[in-house]
Chain A
Amino acid sequence: MVEKENKVTKEKKLKKVSKKSLKTMQKNRGRHIVRDKARVVKYGTKGFGRNIWLSTAATVVMAITLIILFVTIVASVILTNTAEMMKDKIDITIYFKPNTSQTVLDDLEDTIRKDPNIKSVETSTSKEEYDKFMAENADNDDILEIMDEEMTEIMIGKMQSTMRIKVYDVDNLDSIKNIVENDELFKANTDKEMAPTYDVNRAEIGTITSWARIARTGGIILAVVFLVISILIIFSTIRMAIFSRREEIYMMNLVGADKGFVRGPFLVEAEICGMIAGIVAGVVSYFGFKFLSPKLAGYGIDVSQINNILESNQLVLVFLTFIVAGVLIGRISARLAVHKYLRKA
């Protein structure tokens, strides 16, 4: 009985001493976060150099992924902008009988503005239309020659008053058509010989809009595919690095290296790959766009928004995004590999 009690007391004492020793041991570790991190970065950098071929392959794939991501975003933006630009150029012109007065035109404007699809309305009397015509032909000597007072009177008497309408949604013109065709005031004043058309350029706009959609969807699919490939390559690179250094890792564990000290260099290595890939992709994308943008603009594609970004201070932000994206891809894939293959380390 006494012996049993002694054993229990001894056990308790041993437990207390062990736990205290372990606690002291943890405390006494000369922890210095900056110094430890610096050492991990140093080993990671050395590892990058040591596996230069694998590192280069991983960097290239990551750079390609980032470039594809950039192209996807840019294509989507410029095609959407081009479609918007073309939509903005579209207006519906309604011709009224010559000499329709400004008061009537104002009433007509008030009527059409009731439609929520109306973006802007611009009216013009016969006199204003004549002035516009003359301004457009100011250099045309033949016209100037025949335009005496009498001719001017005839011209003004023949020219229709107009209403130019811009809409928010070119695909939804039925309500406007309904007003123009059924409203009594419109019916009384519209020039029946010059009926407005409601499907101008709609086909072209449709094409560009669908291209923008394709660019967005296709680009996202392509980007995701390359992202996965990129992560898999980095994953394999780190796995191979872990495999080739398994003895070293085993030794590190046996001499008491902390988990962070063993894993850290692999993460740093992948982050370096990502950083370099980000810089390379940024430079290639920048100069690639600069080279292609005049050609694209020649085809009537609106590249102004991207050009503005690349020519402003936001360029730094774009480069930083490339680098951060690269580092993130590297870190995520390395984390996966390290988690899978150094789980017990």
Chain B
Amino acid sequence: MILLDSVTKKYPGDSEPALDNISLHIEPNEFVFLVGKSGAGKSTLMKMITKEESPDSGKIIIGGIDLDYVKKRHIPGYRRRLGVVFQDFKLLPRRTVYENVAFALEIAGMSNKDIRRTVPKVLELVDLANQAKKFPHQLSGGQQQRVSIARSVARQPKILIADEPTANLDKLTTKEIIDLLKKINDFGTTILVTTHNEGIVNNLQKRVVTLKHGKIVDDQKTGGVYKLDEAPVPKRPARMVQTPGHALRPKRRVI
């Protein structure tokens, strides 16, 4: 479902690559945690998958599509095939919960009738059926993240990627979100979650891929006890600190 073959990415101004010859294969219906400290390359990898960034070398194949052939005009359509959940939720602040979920369906060209039928079902799945008319600022962090997940799964994507979905949440809410992602995975969606929360990784006993200094240093297929500080050291000398170039580099946004 997700295949990365010898992917390397180096940002201009950085002395070390953000991703260094990464190869990763995720099967359909798998639930994979991508773990590593800040600067390990998790977000860069996610950006490669969402086609926000392109690799300097290597191949990325998502859902049978070689991203080399995804031209600019294909990107919106390609992204509609993915579900994406963000750390900071990225909800439309002036739209209600219902409208936020409906928006994802509107841009996919779904009819109003189908939207009216789909949105309540999705909100029920994330346990927010009674909050449909509220605005994001009226919800707790956990609830906002559930809206974000509802928006991502409304189009029933085959792949859901979540970039630090629990980073801003407390322990109890984190568990709720992970349970929800597990539930979505049970429906047949391939899920890739980046995190640096050891607790949730160890509780769920799923595949864990560890990134360090842009390299995959560990890949535990059946889960196991993961300790962030005890991740193996890559064979190459590690970049111990972020370069000034990295810190100063402007955020790579689409706009």
Contact = CB atoms under 8 A, between A and B. Distances in A.
Interface string B51-87: 0100000000101111011100011111111101010
A252 B92 CA distance: 9
B80 A246 contact: no
A81 B107 CA distance: 56
Interface stretch (B108-116, B125-133, B177-185, B193-201): B108-116
A14 B66 contact: yes
B66 A256 contact: no
A114 interface: no
Contacts, number: 105
For this complex, into which size category does the number of interface residues on chain B fall?
35 or more
B90 A257 contact: no
Given A255-B84, A255-B107, A344-B254, A250 B65 contact: no
A46 B106 CA distance: 16
Interface in A1-48: 14-15, 17-19, 21-22, 25-26, 29-32, 35-36, 39, 46
Nearest to A28: B77
B253 interface: yes
B255 A253 contact: yes
A286 interface: no
A19 B74 CA distance: 10
Contacts of A32: 109, 111
Contact of A18 (B64, B84, B86): B64
A53 interface: no
Nearest to A255: B104
A242 interface: yes
Contact of B108 (A18, A26, A256, A259): A256
B79 A15 contact: no
A203 interface: no
B107 A19 contact: no
B125 to A, nearest CB: 18
B117 interface: no
Interface in A295-345: 341-342, 344-345
Nearest to A247: B90
Contacts of B215: none
A26 B61 CA distance: 18
Contacts of A110: none
Given A256-B78, A257-B107, A22 B65 contact: yes
Contacts of B109: 29-32, 35-36
Contact of A254 (B61, B70, B81, B90): B90
Nearest to A261: B107
B151 interface: yes
B65 A50 contact: no
A258 interface: yes
A257 to B, nearest CB: 4
B236 interface: no
B74 A254 contact: no
A185 to B, nearest CB: 85
B79 A255 contact: yes
A256 B80 CA distance: 5
B77 A26 contact: yes
Interface residues of A, number: 38
A228 interface: no
A35 B111 contact: yes
A155 B109 CA distance: 95
Given A22-B65, A32-B111, A246 B253 contact: yes
B94 interface: yes
Contacts of B86: 254
A259 B255 contact: no
A25 B71 CA distance: 13
B159 to A, nearest CB: 13
A242 B66 contact: no
Interface in A42-67: 46, 50
A54 to B, nearest CB: 15
Contacts of A31: 109
B66 A18 contact: yes
29 contacts: A17-B65, A18-B65, A18-B66, A18-B69, A22-B70, A26-B77, A29-B77, A30-B108, A30-B109, A30-B111, A31-B109, A32-B109, A39-B106, A246-B253, A246-B255, A248-B92, A248-B93, A249-B255, A250-B253, A251-B92, A252-B107, A254-B52, A254-B84, A254-B86, A255-B79, A255-B103, A256-B77, A344-B255, A345-B255
Question: A-B pairs with the 9 shortest C-beta distances?
Answer: A30-B109, A256-B80, A256-B79, A18-B66, A251-B90, A257-B107, A253-B254, A18-B69, A25-B77
Interface of B: 50, 52, 61, 63-66, 68-70, 74-82, 84, 86, 90-94, 103-104, 106-112, 151-152, 253-255
Given A26-B74, A252-B107, A345-B255, 12 more contacts: A14-B66, A15-B69, A18-B61, A29-B108, A36-B109, A249-B255, A251-B92, A253-B254, A253-B255, A255-B151, A256-B81, A256-B107
